[in-house]
């Protein structure tokens, strides 16, 4: 099955995330003052007044917190041939307390607590990230 080519809208707040994905790097927002992770991206921090956001590279390695199997093709241009898609929420090893929504690669049976690793790939001419089972990413820098 093929995943529809649906690019989410990019805003000033999410552009640094997609800039990282484009070069094969998972970058997440972190408060410059207290270093707390902050997800979803916002223009400022929710922790410390006057602090800024530091987009910090992390390894795309973690465990499945929960998942759902999408069996209806709801994305624009999708058909029944494009489903099922396994949507997962990942707790990342390098960003404690942050849970990232992602997609599990086709053919992998999801399980809560399963170790996963993100892989960047070309999706109809744009970079995207999906997770596979197991751990294999290089250590963080």
Contact residues: Zn ion, CB under 5 A: 31, 33-34, 36, 45, 47-48
Residue number, 3 or 48, with CB nearest to Zn ion: 48
Element (H or E) spanning 20, and its range? helix 15-22
Query: Going by C-beta distance under 8 Å and a sequence separation of 6 or more, which residues neighbour residue 14?
Result: 8, 41
Residue number, 52 or 79, with CB nearest to Zn ion: 52
Query: Which residues are registered as beta bridge partners of 133?
Result: 116
Residue number, 27 or 123, with CB nearest to Zn ion: 27
Min CB(96)–Zn ion separation in Å = 15
Min CB(98)–Zn ion separation in Å = 14
Reduced to 3 states (helix: H, G, I; strand: E, B; else coil), residue 21 is helix
Q: How far is CA 4 from the centre of its chain?
A: 17
Min CB(51)–Zn ion separation in Å = 5
């Amino acid at each position: 099955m093929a995943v529809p080519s649906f690019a989410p809208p990019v805003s000033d707040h999410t552009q640094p995330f997609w800039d990282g994905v484009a070069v094969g790097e998972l970058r997440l927002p972190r408060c410059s003052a207290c270093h707390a992770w902050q997800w979803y991206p916002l223009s400022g921090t929710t922790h410390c007044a006057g602090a800024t956001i530091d987009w910090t590279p992390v390894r795309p390695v973690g465990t499945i917190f929960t998942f759902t199997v999408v069996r209806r093709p709801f994305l624009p241009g999708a058909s029944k041939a494009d489903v099922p898609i396994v949507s997962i929420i990942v707790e990342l090893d390098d960003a404690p307390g942050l849970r990232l929504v992602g997609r599990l690669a086709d053919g992998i049976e999801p399980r809560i607590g399963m170790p996963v690793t993100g892989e960047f790939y070309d999706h109809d001419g744009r970079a995207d990230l999906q997770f596979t089972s197991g751990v294999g990413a290089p250590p963080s820098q």
